[in-house]
Amino acid sequence: RQRYADLIINPAVKETFVKRTLLVNTIREFLNSRGALEVDTPVLQSIPGGAAARPFITHHNALDIPFYLRIANELYLKRLIVGGFDGVYEFAKDFRNEGMDRTHNPEFTMLEFYVAYKDYNWMMNFTEKLLEKVANDVYSQTEVTIGEQKIDFKAPFKRIPIYEAIKDFTGIDISQMNEEELKKVCRDLHIHVEASMGKGKLVDAIFGEKCEKHFVQPTFITDYPMEMSPLTKKHRNKPGLVERFELFIVGREIANGFSELNDAEDQAERFKAQAVAKEAGDDEAMYYDADFIRALEYGMPPTGGCGIGIDRLVMLLTDSPNIRDVILFP
């Protein structure tokens, strides 16, 4: 709460923030050197989109309408891909009106980047090379000590489908289960269930409770059920799944990426399903964004996208136990 005093008294605190800037500069140079364009997108939005989260709401006096602080910049960056840019990125301040704990702060920094004519396989390769470069630039090696663990950022990282991971750690194959069957599994595993939770949230809860903590070395979890990923393209070979990955390191989610959904009709149906979930009490479900649908109707090329939580990445690479330790003024 008095960061100025903290910086004066504790040299190690200052060093954390020097490393944070070095990390951000490395990422920026990596993306720039590969032809990506850094852009700015709106923080105040009439419809918050691009993630499943509860927004902060404010009021625009002159227009007399509500506005929302952005929960993500995804949909605006994809509009730029529609507009003809081949690769764009933004270091964005995002805001989510949710609980606080050691890995969540209501205001946080997210890097998102999108590249046309790529898919999630290419994006996993790109992301692991980016993180290998970050570790090398910050520590002059790919092996970093985090707590009592030595974490190796040398690419390639392991890749495991989410249903396979759940089966490995629970012994249960949930891949063909419906909502009621998943609720029973949650109850059997002593995982809290709410009435508003659909299939996607139930799978997420099982994975979060029983699997996440086991992924210490960098691991991509892939091929999520469609209900968990309303903005992701359907899997080319596996019905009911989408082409999505999340990167876990030391049991924490660090990155999230997709083959981006570019079918306007499919996206409209997914938004409608989210609206139904919102009506049923899911206050994190997405809003229907008609302008984004219109953008997709103009035509978005096949695109790969990824978001990396900068605060969590800094926590990881500076071995900081709390997100408040890596934000100058949390």
pLDDT at residue 26 tops 90 = yes
Mean pLDDT of 107-136: 98
Residue 264's pLDDT is: 97
Q: What percent of the chain has pLDDT over 90?
A: 88
Residue 260's pLDDT is: 98
Q: What is the C-alpha R_g of the chain?
A: 20
d(CA 78, CA 177): 33
**Bond before 321 cis per omega within 30 degrees:** no
Using DSSP's 3-state secondary structure scheme, residue 171 falls into coil
pLDDT at residue 227 tops 90 = no
Going from the C-alpha of 29 to that of each of 22, 118, 134, 137, 140, the distances in angstroms are 10, 20, 10, 11, 16
pLDDT confidence band for 219 (50 / 70 / 90): very high
Residue 52's pLDDT is: 85
Q: When comparing pLDDT for 129 and 227, which is higher?
A: 129
Q: What percent of the chain has pLDDT over 70?
A: 100
Residues paired with residue 225 on neighbouring β-strands, in sequence order: 241
d(CA 209, CA 299): 39
- Average pLDDT of the chain is 95
pLDDT at residue 295 tops 90 = yes
Residue 99's pLDDT is: 86
Residue 216's pLDDT is: 97
pLDDT confidence band for 307 (50 / 70 / 90): very high
Residue 281's pLDDT is: 83
User: What is the H or E stretch that residue 94 is in?
Assistant: strand 87-95
pLDDT at residue 90 tops 90 = yes
Mean pLDDT of 35-55: 94
Mean pLDDT of 273-293: 89
